[in-house]
Structure 1
């Protein structure tokens, strides 16, 4: 299993690049006995639960000390964008966090494979049963643009390039993750709540940003359909993280999540989020009941939310992967759009 992406799925690459990174400080990782690992949550990420569900060990970060990559590699880096810093700068978008763009992560995969395989034929054979999870990519490209005041019409022009970068990897079994409704992130709601021209939906999410996420996802799905037609022997699936998140918003109360917008680890503001004093900064504490919160720090989800959304995604995608050797015994292959039953939450 190979994971590419940003902070949604970084299990410890950014903390190697920058030991002082936000997600490398307490109380991040407070649900781990060893404390912060570089994961941007209080505990496990979705890729952790996917690996556990597939019956393999947690993926090691490519830049980490432990180089046992026999079960796969996590190339994701917190803060990374799909487009390179140079390409973003041409649109007057500043990338401050990392240069580990999607292209850089693919380069690292190629470097990794050259240590294992000595030919293209050997590489194809080695990867024939591998699962590539690509995403979430594109989110930071758009978030940087929105938060830096770039005109949304100009951001739309980025979509074809982002989509092309995502689907160029290839492989035999690929999940391409769509965008979350990032207008529902507390950081977005806090940023736009004072605007008289910005409308909100029934969950108080920023409609402008969510419409853009839908726009991106439609382009992404069209690109996947085109690629699937060109390569019918490859399994290419769209990871509908947008609707998975919306499902959790609709059913949050049934899972004991009483705060869908208020931040667990933060301080100040009506949503407990202040960009000047974020989770990981001195004196910023976490709540005592993180399992009742969807958002951990205003940008990233709590471990509980990661677990629940993984259930939705696994139920939707794993039966379609045609991987007979994978035993996903910890999840039920069905969606539940109403109140959850005891059977639905056995894994909790």
Structure 2
């Protein structure tokens, strides 16, 4: 089967599942929306995976145990971070009369799992058009069902995750971006995904001029945290707060949440929470950049002025 048989199918399965069991969040500020219906993976999931685990026998046990959730909820909620996600911060700012569809981030799991499985960058790059097609097809079908407002994020920087940095560690300095320390080869893969996504979303805007389709630049919003960590209050931006040791605090034999792992004392000073997810502090900064700042096309705040306050 193409594109990782089980992994790609799992991503699409979650997308369909969340259509049936949407993450609908309510808020209390002056804006035009009454709910957020979110589609995505562990960067968006506020607990659905935990709720459906017993029904579909899908288990990712480390996410269901401490120290996950320690910063804000003080207990695990099924969120893959120490606290809130980007969608949680967005929820806190909106009051809606129509649904806002957050479609993504989608694709990161497919690419990273294929790379871990041993596929080359070239092989994984060939999957990108298929992933983009699934994203845009979903948006179009939701438009046909009456959707009017869509936020479609691009990828977060996989090349800066402890997982990628550990698995593809190299002694060749040319393999790393000298401004971030992240892997250049994976960066090029993500840039291709993000450029293709932006191009296809533009086509949707042209074909559906009465629908608002916002390209959320999670990638560059996050990249600034790796480029200038001290400016945002972070230290050791490439190292995981929670993990099992090693240069980037990632050890596949001692994942975050397992007894053999350790957790940092101050998660708010770290960008990376575990081997692939970010901390609440990092998600907060990305949220501000995308939904209150200039890291979206068009600016989200232009559609909802209350969000900028």
Normalised TM-score (structure 2): 0.78
Residues 148-206 of structure 1: CA deviation (Å, up to 9, x unaligned) = 11122222222222111112223211111111221011110011114759711122211
Alpha-carbon offset, residue 12 of structure 1: 0.4
Alignment partner of 2:185 out of 188, 191, 208: 208
CA distance in 2, matches of 1:283, 1:274: 10
In the alignment, what sits opposite 1:136? 105
SS in 2 for 1:18: helix
Residue 3, structure 1, aligned to residue 3, structure 2: no
1:22-61 matched pairs, under 5 angstroms: 22-54=62-94
Residue 269, structure 1, aligned to residue 253, structure 2: no
**Structure index of larger Rg:** 1
Q: List alignment gaps of at least 5 residues for structure 1.
A: 56-70, 72-127, 333-348
Alpha-carbon offset, residue 284 of structure 1: 1.6
Residue 223, structure 1, aligned to residue 192, structure 2: no
Alpha-carbon contact 2:102-2:150 (below 8 Å) kept: yes
CA distance in 1, matches of 2:306, 2:239: 36
Alpha-carbon contact 1:167-1:176 (below 8 Å) kept: no
Residue 18, structure 1, aligned to residue 50, structure 2: no
Residues 110-167 of structure 1: CA deviation (Å, up to 9, x unaligned) = xxxxxxxxxxxxxxxxxx8321111110111111111111122222222222111112
Alpha-carbon offset, residue 246 of structure 1: 1.4
Residue 153, structure 1, aligned to residue 129, structure 2: no
Alignment partner of 2:230 out of 243, 253, 261: 253
CA distance in 2, matches of 1:187, 1:198: 19
In the alignment, what sits opposite 2:167? 191
Alignment partner of 2:263 out of 280, 286, 310: 286
CA distance in 1, matches of 2:299, 2:105: 21
Q: List alignment gaps of at least 5 residues for structure 2.
A: 1-35
1:110-129 matched pairs, under 5 angstroms: 129=98
Q: Choose 37-46 or 27-36, whichever is displaced more.
A: 27-36
SS in 2 for 1:53: coil
Alpha-carbon contact 2:100-2:150 (below 8 Å) kept: yes
More strand by share: 2
SS in 1 for 2:256: coil
In the alignment, what sits opposite 1:113? none
SS in 2 for 1:327: helix
CA distance in 1, matches of 2:300, 2:248: 39
More helix by share: 2
CA distance in 2, matches of 1:7, 1:220: 20
Residues 284-329 of structure 1: CA deviation (Å, up to 9, x unaligned) = 22110111111111211111111011100112348546645x732x
Alignment partner of 1:244 out of 221, 227, 230: 221
Normalised TM-score (structure 1): 0.69
Alpha-carbon contact 2:84-2:280 (below 8 Å) kept: yes
CA distance in 1, matches of 2:150, 2:239: 34
Alpha-carbon contact 1:189-1:204 (below 8 Å) kept: no
- Aligned residue pairs: how many? 258
CA distance in 2, matches of 1:268, 1:130: 43
In the alignment, what sits opposite 1:327? 306
Alpha-carbon offset, residue 39 of structure 1: 0.5
Alpha-carbon offset, residue 273 of structure 1: 1.1
Q: CA RMSD in A?
A: 2.1
CA distance in 2, matches of 1:195, 1:167: 39
